[in-house]
Homo-oligomer: A and B are copies of this chain.
């Protein structure tokens, strides 16, 4: 019954009875998404995808973000391209329990749809975003961790389902149509971890957005799939669980009681989240050094003790590109990183030894951006402006930020999106 139960829950989700904390979490997720989609819009991966798909563009309805409202395409391609842009800097949100980046696939589909069909209020948009994010995260939890361990990029492999549920909500699909939409999304399993480090990583959430959007639109026209798509013997969960035992019923039963969007965290730094505690600590120590009049050249050695995954993900001492700054290269040779299992993923221990014998130490218990120390709305805004100013310039970035915060108040969100 997992498929039917998810469909029924999503169909009956009501924006007027959404808890205010959930609604605020949705506003923050959408705001952060728009900053990332604009911020990533000039990346070569997005440009290559644009050049490939441009000859196939249909009637222009939906904005490709990051061009000040000058680039539009059909909703399918807008969802794809904005989805790629939102993920390409690894700067998007993280549902920490599954490391799903949930907003990219869902919001890319919803916003492209909102401009295409029109008549979507801010309240409806947020409600659909919540439905889609809950769907992605609950089915993700049901197959976690074996699904990720075997090699699926869980953001996109669950993202098409979330996008279908979200768009299905805006389409006001009935429960049976919604179940068919879930099925149509579930047969398009997108994203392998092998692609991390290549352009294809960010293609994953883009394609998931597009697949979910079209799954909902096909279901609207009566296209049938299965009413047991998720839980059937040869359905989604059993096929993609990677040898684990899916716990669909358990997590689907939690819908509306435990809100996954409230456990959605935002990255203060554009890199894998386990690196954040060390970065957070280094920034704090840098401020302390400035107060004490200590400079980079005074550093003899830096000791960093981190979670083992940090070493696994970042142990390239001489990366080929990106970090050619000579002061970065010089400090790199004075940093030693060790790890042990006692250090939590959001924790880091740092110690700086200076040439004159001074030392500075920092224990980051919970990195900024973790659930224990979430980014404030102000920090999110700073992040948004940082990203978007590089693309739009300061004035337009501030205007975009105002637009992105105000989405809940709009009676039709389409007009506001056309300026982004």
Contacts and interface: CB of A to CB of B under 8 A. Distances in A.
Given A188-B190, A200-B184, A75 B49 contact: no
A150 B48 contact: no
Interface string A273-298: 00000000000000000000000000
A69 to B, nearest CB: 21
B52 A223 contact: yes
B55 A59 contact: yes
A19 interface: no
A276 to B, nearest CB: 24
Contacts of A151: 233-235, 238-239
Name the interface size band of chain A: 35 or more
A250 B4 CA distance: 43
A399 interface: no
A191 B195 contact: no
Contacts of A270: none
Contact of A239 (B152, B217, B234): B152
A51 interface: yes
A237 B49 CA distance: 26
A279 to B, nearest CB: 26
The residue in A187, A189, A195, A224 that gathers the most chain B C-beta atoms within 10 A of its C-beta is: A187
21 contacts: A48-B221, A49-B218, A52-B217, A55-B59, A56-B58, A58-B58, A150-B239, A186-B192, A187-B191, A187-B195, A187-B203, A189-B189, A192-B234, A192-B235, A192-B239, A193-B234, A194-B234, A198-B224, A198-B225, A198-B226, A200-B224
Interface of A: 45, 48-49, 51-53, 55-59, 74-76, 116, 150-153, 183-184, 186-195, 198-200, 203-204, 207, 214, 217-218, 220-226, 228-229, 232-236, 238-239, 242-243
